Every structure is written in structure tokens, then in C-alpha cells.
Amino acid sequence: MIGGGQGAFIGGVHRMAARLDGLYDLVAGALSSTPEKSIASGRELGLADDRCYPTWQAMLEGELARPEGERIQAVSIVTPNHAHFEPALAFVDAGFAVILDKPMVHTTEQAEALARKVRDRDAIFAVTYNYSGYPLVRQAREMVRSGEIGEVRKVVVEYNQGWLATKLEESGQKQADWRTDPSRSGVGGCIGDIGSHCEQLVASITGLEIDKICADLTTFVPGRELDDDANLLLRFKGGARGLLFCSQICVGGENDLRIRVWGTKGGLAWHQEEPNRLLVHRLDQPDQVYRRGNGYLGEAAAAGTRLPSGHPEAFIEAFANVYKAVAEAIYAGAGADSPKRFGFPGVEDGARGVQFIHRTVESSRSEQKWTAL
Ligand SMILES: NC(=O)c1ccc[n+]([C@@H]2O[C@H](COP(=O)([O-])OP(=O)(O)OC[C@H]3O[C@@H](n4cnc5c(N)ncnc54)[C@H](O)[C@@H]3O)[C@@H](O)[C@H]2O)c1
């Protein structure tokens, strides 16, 4: 693991998710931004002394120096966004499977270079868009893709948080500090941090490709450099329309991620804070609620379910479904086509996400789209 040291947020979730099915052991790490903290974090997690590395460069060198069969097989990169590209490129190049958190990298050039490297090295590469791992998101995908709700006409996706409603970064809070700094977060604030999840969720469920974006990004908290609120109109190829909005200033918003999809024959609604239910609408019929763990669900949902219905599964299990699919690809000796074969988000999803963030920022800066009353 790279990142995820003392005081970090998502690294711990990755460790729990990776271990949930007994398919991974954490054996080496360069876990923090300073050598001292990296080593201390590794020791705290019980890593062998010679595999608590001061930096990711030292880890790469140290692991390559070990005999084949005694090296790491995969690396999880869970650093802030600015520290994604270089280690990801280097570990792919050295022949390791890479599991990287979103947004994949800062620029579209970096995204293209990484995608090229993954193809050239025929590498296993995953981006942890973890929401696509929820059983009922997989069910929604299967239902939309098999035409159960007809041709998709409209999608509304939203992600409302309130934790950045005040200038939390001034307190030195670690996660707020880098997320509001363009040099570490990238060109997008809220749109990159959580809007990227919205974009991927739409793509994962519907398969629709965004054709055009009309975006309005706002920074509500004075003195903040990046957007903390985003409202987008979407036009998809083929004619469907969408709304995507996300915010980190919606007081009371926790991880209020919701998606609704309407087609010519029906509709679907899923809410991350109640992830074990999927509301299904059908023309001229009463609504139905599909629930996780029941026999009427499809194969993909069943494969991502560990407990009987009624025993809640949620965030960590959905995350673990991404890890499990990557492990299956590693055990099968698969390569760059593994996201499609094993069903996890890959470098193409990551690259599309980076493109989405940049085009959104561009659209928001251009005033041409607005018509005055
Ligand atoms: N998929 C999700 O749901 C989800 C949720 C939260 C965060 N994330 C993503 O995960 C990443 C990390 O976010 P976070 O909230 O855990 O951040 P964080 O600040 O809590 O943790 C980042 C960790 O990386 C370490 N680090 C920084 N530079 C490093 C370097 N060069 N080498 C080694 N370690 C280094 C830091 O010391 C820290 O331990 C971000 O890209 C974020 O967008 C994804």
C-alpha cells in the first residue's frame, strides 16, 4: 500500500475491504508522506521491518530486489490526488497490478499516458469507484442493460455532503486541507472529489456516454479556491438527458448519493445511505422494492453478496467487491482486459472521469451557454 498511514481516511477502508474475503495480505507499505511516519505506520500495522519503506520509490526498488514469488503482487495507491500518477505509472511499468483511488490523475495527458502504459504492459489496473460494487447497483445495471426499463430517457444523479460548509481547511483538518488546494486536489474541488463518483455511477448503470455538459460550479465558502458546489445539465449520446449535482456545503448532507433513471417502460431509484433496496417503477404497475440477498436478484448482485437478506451490508462490502474482482483477475493471470472480464472499474473509467472533470470546469468558466431573462 502507498498512502493510508496514521491519520489517513480511506487507506483503512481499503485494508478492510481487501481482507474481507481472505484474498489479500498486506505485506509492504510506503504509507505516509514523510519517511518517519511511513515507517511508524507500517510497524503499527504489523509489517516486517524490512518492508516498512520510507517512500514508494524505495518500495518499488526493494520489492523488485526480492526473488520473484516473494514480492508484492499488487499495490493499492491511496494517497491524495497529486500523488497518484507517478507511483501508478511506475508500478504498472514494473509489472505489478495497481488498485488506485479516484480521481485517477490530475490531467488528461497523464490519464492518456497511464492508459497507454496499462495497455502496453497488459496490466491489471483498477480504479476504486466503489459505489459500482454495491449489489443493488449491479442489479440496476443488469436491469437497465437488459432493457427492463426500456430506452433510457432521463437520469438524475446527486451527491450531497455538508462537511465543507465552513472553512474546515483552516483548522488544518487533513482531508479538507488537500481537497481544497488545487495543487493537490486538481482542477476540481467537489466536482472531482464526489462528482466523479456520480459520473461513474451513471456510466456504470446505464452505459450512456455524455455528449455535452452545461455546468455551473460555485465556491460558496469565501477564500476557498476550488468549487464546493456543482450543478450540471447533461446531454447523452443517443438523446437521453440528465442532471448531475453535487455539493459539499449542503448542511446536514452526509453521503447522500442518489441515482434515478427513467426509461420508456419504467424507472429505478437507488440511495447510498439505504443501499440494500432498489425501487423499481414499471408503466401502469405498482412500484416494487428489490432487496439485497434475495433469490430474485441477478447473478452480479448475488456474486457481490455475503450475508442473507436483512443483515445489512454496505460501504466496506461494496468496496470489497472491487477488490475481490481484481483478485480474481490476478489469480486468473489476466491482463489489461480484466475490468470487462471480471467486472471492475479500470483505467478507461479513470480516464473518462478525468476528462469529465476538466470539461466540466471548462464549461463552467464559459458563460456562452446562459440565456438572460
Ligand atoms: N473511493 C472513495 O470512496 C474515496 C473516499 C475517500 C477518499 N478517496 C480518495 O482516496 C485518496 C486519499 O484520500 P484520503 O481522504 O484517505 O486522504 P488522507 O489525507 O486521509 O490520506 C492520504 C494518505 O496518503 C499519504 N501520502 C501523501 N503523499 C504520500 C506519498 N508521496 N507517499 C506515500 N504516502 C503519501 C498521507 O500521509 C496520508 O497517509 C484520494 O485520492 C481521495 O480522492 C476515495
Distance 330 CA to ligand 1 centre (A): 24
Name the residue ranges covered by the structural domains of the chain: 2-130, 133-309+346-365
Beta strands 74-78 and 97-100: pairing type?
parallel
**Helix (H), strand (E), coil (C) string for 153-202:** EEEEEEEECCCCCCCHHHHCCHHHHHHCCHHHHCCCCHHHHHHHHHHHHH
Distance 51 CA to ligand 1 centre (A): 20
Residue 370 scores a pLDDT above 70? no
* CB neighbour class for 287 (10 Å; exposed up to 12, middle 13-18, buried from 19): exposed
- What residue has cell string 476528462? 355
pLDDT of residue 371: 66
Distance 347 CA to ligand 1 centre (A): 19
Distance 11 CA to ligand 1 centre (A): 7
Look at the alpha carbons of 61, 63, 66, 67 in this order and tell me if their dihedral is positive or negative: negative
The predicted-structure confidence for 243-252, as pLDDT tens digits, reads as follows: 999 999 999 9
CB-CB contact of 80 with 185 (8 Å)? yes
Nearest CA to ligand 1 atom 27: 33
Residues whose CB falls within 8 Å of the CB of residue 366, separated by 6 or more in sequence, listed in order: none
Grid cell locating 261:
433513471
Whether the CB of 232 sits within 6 Å of ligand 1? no
Residue 117 scores a pLDDT above 90? yes
* Confidence category of residue 228, pLDDT binned at 50, 70, 90: very high
Distance 301 CA to ligand 1 centre (A): 29
Q: Does the model's pTM come out above 0.95? A: yes
Grid cell locating 87:
507511483
Pocket test for ligand 1, best of 33, 36, 100, 319 (most atoms within 8 A of CB): 33
- What residue has cell string 520489492? 63
Percent of the chain surpassing pLDDT 70: 99
Residues whose CB falls within 8 Å of the CB of residue 155, separated by 6 or more in sequence, listed in order: 202, 206, 208, 234, 236, 240, 241, 242, 243, 259, 260, 261, 262
The predicted-structure confidence for 20-42, as pLDDT tens digits, reads as follows: 999 999 999 999 999 999 999 99
Residue 271 identity: H
Pocket test for ligand 1, best of 6, 38, 57, 101 (most atoms within 8 A of CB): 101
Report domain 133-309+346-365's class. alpha beta
Whether the CB of 231 sits within 6 Å of ligand 1? no
Pocket test for ligand 1, best of 1, 2, 10 (most atoms within 8 A of CB): 10
The predicted-structure confidence for 257-274, as pLDDT tens digits, reads as follows: 999 999 999 999 999 999
Q: What is the fold, at CATH topology level, of the domain defined by 2-130?
A: Rossmann fold (3.40.50)
Query: What residues does 74 pair with on adjacent strands?
Result: 97
Ligand 1 closest atom vs CA 79: 24
Distance 161 CA to ligand 1 centre (A): 18
CA gap 349, 323 in Å, rounded = 16
